[in-house]
Amino acid sequence: MKTQINGTDILELGFPEGKIIGIALKINSKRNGFTRDEMIANFKNVLETPENYIDDKIFSKLAIALIEKANEKPEDFIALNQNPNAYSAYGLEGIEDGARKQMEVAMKLPVTVAGALMPDAHQGYGLPIGGVLATKNAIIPYGVGVDIGCRMALSVYDIAEDFYFENEAKFKKELIANSIFGAGHGFHGQHKADHAVLENDAFNMTPFVKNLKDKAWSQLGSSGGGNHFVEFGIMEFTKDDAVLNIPKGKYVALLTHSGSRGMGATIAGHYTKIAKDVCKLPDVAKNLAYLDMNSQLGQEYWMAMNLAGDYASACHEIIHNKMEHALGATILAKVENHHNFAWKEIWNGEEVIVHRKGATPAGKGVMGIIPGSMTAPGFLVRGKGEENAINSASHGAGRQMSRTQAIKNITKTEMKSILQDHGVTLIGAGLDEAPMAYKDINQVMKAQQDLVDVVAKFTPKLVRMADDGSRED
């Protein structure tokens, strides 16, 4: 029987956080004939006297790593800036301390030029979700995030509101038939989609990226797990919009939210590990390890990130094309925006790399969609180009409960009741995605009136999410 030891067990023995835990777990996974207690005893001995295990055939790598760690000096690490610039914040009173502290650390990076915190911000890994960070010639994999290029896509149809309510069963049928959810899920055989993104030369940039192509193909056009969705709703324009050429009125619309699936997550994990190896930061900032844009590794990640973003966009395009064909509708307008990405932009007269982790581009005139929850409205917006916000806005309402808290504190009855109150039909989703787990989108929008103008309001009516409550893979 396999020896059951996890990372928490190793930490409790006194091992330092980081790659050493991974080395110990790898040794444990090979079992080597030891019982659990015997393995724990060996780990204790290696921790206490690593010099006695330098030549040990099982524990040498762990011993050497411990000795190297013990001999690290402050000067071995890249120093943080102890007098950082202040960052801009919007709706700060509604942002948790954890997110604020993460932003404060991010501002201390020697490559940081400017920062901003959006009103939907909450704690994440490295840069907080809702954090915007401009850096000089450096890219931070965890400043981009795990679900690279995650985005919103909207199609507004030439279908009046009444038609939806008269034909709700048809919309439900097409939603189920033309979308697929769940971490790891995808298409096989003749059901696989095709798209020009699969011919992108960037897939051949390295053997690592090339090996992701088969998985990317099978998941092309799928939506994954977590908070990703495909939903029909009513889009209301309270006045004519000349730019989109849409008259005042209420229209049926399709709104989708998903990212780069398993491919993006694998790229994020791979390059974050590399960044941590080449960019030695103090423990408090280790998840903000960055790559120099002038280095081969920096250019590799930049190309892989952009490929993942193009792939995420292709997934949305396939879903929207399928739905347009199934409904036989004409699309009046399409809008798409993404977050969990980095852009080269000019800020204060110099080129910077702007990381928007869970934040929407909101340059002057730039269109975007900011969703609420499955029962709260979303908003079609146009950016105002606020420089203090680094031309950004929130990417949604933001969580006020963690997934674990939501599952513990919200009942199925409560969730069913709020759905009924708002006339929303839900297909799938776990309690971790209940509307009550999210902040009030109206308060979030109020906090960013200086950042965006509202063009139209989207009210969800038919929502589909992963039915297993899974997180993104």
Three-class secondary structure of residue 384 per DSSP? coil
> Is the residue at 287 inside a domain?
yes
Percent of the chain with pLDDT over 70: 96
Q: Which residues does the annotation place in the binding site for GMP? A: 227-231, 339-340, 371-374, 395-398
Local confidence band at 471 (pLDDT 50, 70, 90 cut-offs): low
> Is the residue at 212 inside a domain?
yes
At residue 305, the pLDDT reads 98
Residue-range definition of the domain harbouring residue 409: 150-465
Q: Are residues 334 and 220 in the same domain?
A: yes
Local confidence band at 8 (pLDDT 50, 70, 90 cut-offs): confident
- Which one of 122, 185, 355, 395 is the catalytic residue? 395
Q: Which residues does the annotation place in the binding site? A: 147, 227-231, 257, 339-340, 371-374, 395-398
Residues 6+ apart with CB under 8 A from 128: 98, 99, 100, 102, 103, 106, 117, 121, 122, 357, 358
At residue 248, the pLDDT reads 97
> Is the residue at 80 inside a domain?
no
Q: Each residue of 276-292: pLDDT tens digit?
A: 989 999 988 999 999 99
What's at 15, amino acid-wise? F
CA distances from 419 to 168, 230, 373, 434 (A): 16, 16, 11, 9
> Is the residue at 118 inside a domain?
no
Whole-structure pTM over 0.85, yes or no? no
Number of domains in the chain: 2
Nearest to 131 by CA among 302, 303, 287: 287
Q: Each residue of 15-58: pLDDT tens digit?
A: 887 789 889 988 988 867 888 889 999 999 999 999 999 999 99
| Alpha-carbon span 295 to 274, nearest angstrom | 13
> Is the residue at 122 inside a domain?
no
> Is the residue at 443 inside a domain?
yes
Mean pLDDT of 209-225: 90
Picking from 48, 71, 94, the residue at the C-terminal end of a domain is 71
> Is the residue at 162 inside a domain?
yes
- 191 as an active site residue: the answer is no
Local confidence band at 187 (pLDDT 50, 70, 90 cut-offs): confident
Q: Which residues does the annotation place in the binding site for Mn(2+)? A: 147, 228, 257, 339
> Is the residue at 362 inside a domain?
yes
